[in-house]
Amino acid sequence: MRITREPYGTTSDGQPVEAFILESTGGIRVTLINYGATIAAVEVPDRAGVQADVVLGFDDLAGYQSEANPYFGATCGRFANRIARGRFTLGGTEYTLACNDGPNSLHGGLVGFDKQVWAAMIVDSTVKMSLTSPDGDEGYPGTLRVEICFGLDEAGALRIDYQAESDQPTVLNLTNHSYFNLAGGGSILDHIACINADRYTVVDDRAIPTGELHSVAGNAMDLLSPIPIRRNITAVQGGGYDHNYCLNRSTAEALVLAAKVVEPVSGRSLECWTTEPGVQFYTGNFLHDIPGKRGARYNAHAGFCLETQHYPDSPNQPSFPSTVLAPGEAYRQACIYTFGVEG
């Protein structure tokens, strides 16, 4: 596996950004940029050996900095997904966050980790990116230090290892927000999806959990067996999948297979493995005429996301797995996206 680095441009406030290209002998090529610790491209062969970029994004840094960017490929934090009313209480103190999704806080707030330039270096066969988030950043308590290592192996597995520590009690929930399209373009509705979850978090009309975990059995949320994404999508609340699935697991910290998706025409497949309790399955319902790579225009269902994470609004839901990080504790999680070909 080979890693190269090259300039990627300069942010609007004058900070240089670099690209890191990871290439495997199996023909997979991943491009990372340290703006937002972002996966900017993943080039994968199909069953005939034809390469395609299977993640949505932009041609240049200006696109990633634009208001049109719906977190393409970015690292989301401090808290991925939503926190209701932009508030939570920890240790008897109520904290007020920046709200950027109506009355709620989404993916870390107005200037989350996705909009910052991370320090980056090549360490052995990985790219390590690091960021320090100061006490009070977007309303969150504690000075938080985060490191993410990206590695690509010869079997086509892109591994993301996260670790963090804080000097005060805080809450933390990190994820990668890549939008995948295994066909390399068009719609993802004919992709075949399977998610290893018996339950999902019920949400209200603002996508905030009610606290109830509902069985997928007998309803449109059931993806335990592989089916085309289009089959039940119109019956899903909100006009498409944008829900947290509670993964089936027997060991809290072990990697489990969260999901598998196959594009039947090209044969490209994606497996998603995680140590996290949940995966947010999102089918790009709100994409609308976004100017993307090589002249593409991204509209609804142009990509799907498998955001491995804790449940939404966990700081306000005491029955959910805890997202509290205390001083002296180490936050660790891993996510693996494995690309392959079937048939």
Q: What is the set of active-site residues?
A: 177, 307
* Residue whose C-alpha is closest to residue 79's, from 220, 204, 152, 175: 175
CB 204 within 8 A of CB 99: no
Q: Read off the tokens for 58.
A: 């932009």
* Whole-angstrom distance, CA of residue 163 vs CA of residue 174: 10
- End-to-end Cα separation, the chain, in angstroms: 26
155 contacts: CB under 8 Å, gap ≥ 6? 26, 338
Instruction: Describe the chain by its helix, strand, coil percentages, rounded to 5.
Output: 10, 45, 45
* Whole-angstrom distance, CA of residue 178 vs CA of residue 183: 15
151 contacts: CB under 8 Å, gap ≥ 6? 22, 125, 126, 127, 158, 159, 161
Distances (CA, A) of 300 to 55, 64, 125, 188: 15, 19, 36, 9
